[in-house]
Amino acid sequence: MYIFKAGVVGAGFMGAEIAQVISFSGLPVVVKDVDPEMLKKAEEHIREIYQGRVDKGKMTQGELRDKMDLIEFTLDYDSFEDADFIIEAVPERMDLKVQVFQDLAKVAPETAIFASNTSALSISEMGHKGGRPERTVGMHFFSPAHVMKLVEIIPGLDTTQEVVDDTVQFTESLRKIAVVVKECPGFLVNRLLAPYLGEAMMALQEGAATAGEIDEAMVEFGMPMGPFTLLDFMGIDVSAHAGAYMTSEYGPRFESPEILKRLVAAGRFGEKTGGGFYGYGDASDAPVKEMIAQIQASGIARGPFTVERLVYPMINEAAMIAQENIASIPDIDMAMIAGTGMSYQGERVGPLAIADEIGLDVVLAGLEEMLHEPWGGERFRPSLLLKTKVRAGHLGKKSERGFHEHMAW
């Protein structure tokens, strides 16, 4: 499929970022929003990204103008009548996304591909309710899109293979890494981050360590930023919304910690509101400390903070994803490298490669120990694939076989 023009619906941060990525590839793109102020901010944000390249000597002012000329900002759908590929980036609500696709179906060509930048919601449901299930696909960019290389491609049950192939090709034309993932709540990277972030918050509210101490330990382990810095960057409200959805789909093992719920209730959504787990500007983190004290006073079981407490559940979830054939083992690791920048012992590797380094038997023993702790429970129950590999003697590098094959030198 030849793509001559693209569209983006939703001019928030991610919509603006996606539009910039598309224009940078040399493709015309139309950006729609219902709010003129959002369109203005989107244009300013895109211009800032390009100006940054000019300031670094990577682009001239003339090239900046040429790239900006490729972008049209609009309040209506009229300019979508000749768009070949359209990405919705509206807030994470199914009703809003469905409405966008229904509106687009009235004006966009029959051959147009409708893509959703959702981070967790059902593509099959969007396609069914939106009216064009065969040509609807998930296309999940990571923030900030002009920096992060990964894009998850998620076919719905009715998405044609042609649409999947065209979406992968389009993604690669944007100089991004495409990973095709079977549909499941949270898809791949966010599903893996959920237990990692959840366990960090549990350790914090139990008083096992401070946010700063946990962040420092996880950066030392190999994460590009600590869990609380990441949560504040992503948005506490966004994380809470995603957590509620994943809990409704997967059950209690994804239940949001009490501290997250209290931060949302207090309006501390992270950097964008000046306060989340940390305080920004004149804001303080004193209210968070008070919340933690109140949670502890309620009599919750208190466990220790260890790096393993955060990493092993992420490895376990990765094993579940492989077991469910959501994605291949190489793609799981590659997605976490490209989507989060994680590393281990100075090497850029994903969670299943890390498990091979540690030893699958060691990871299994750690999960089983935490499963039976008073502060632990079902969220640490080992996956069948992990247990099966250990029973078969596939322990990782030390046995030359684990999640990956390893050569003996």
Question: Which residues, 6+ apart, have CB-to-CB distance to 44 below 8 Å?
Answer: none
Looking at beta carbons, which pairs linking 39-46 to residues 24 or more positions away fall under 8 Å? 39/11, 39/73, 39/74, 39/75, 41/11, 41/16, 42/11, 42/12, 42/15, 42/16, 42/73, 43/16, 43/68, 43/71, 43/73, 45/13, 45/16, 45/17, 45/20, 46/16, 46/19, 46/20, 46/71
Looking at beta carbons, which pairs linking 385-389 to residues 24 or more positions away fall under 8 Å? 385/319, 385/320, 385/322, 385/323, 386/315, 386/316, 386/319, 386/355, 386/360, 389/360
The CA distance from 242 to 240, in Å, is 5
Tokens of 258: 């009490």
- DSSP3 helix / strand / coil % (the chain, rounded to 5): 55, 10, 35
Question: Which residues, 6+ apart, have CB-to-CB distance to 369 below 8 Å?
Answer: none
CB 310 within 8 A of CB 199: yes
Q: Which amino acid is at 172?
A: E
The CA distance from 34 to 22, in Å, is 21
Which residues have a catalytic role annotated?
Answer: 140
- Cα 213 from chain centre: 24
β-pairing verdict for 136-141 and 150-155: antiparallel
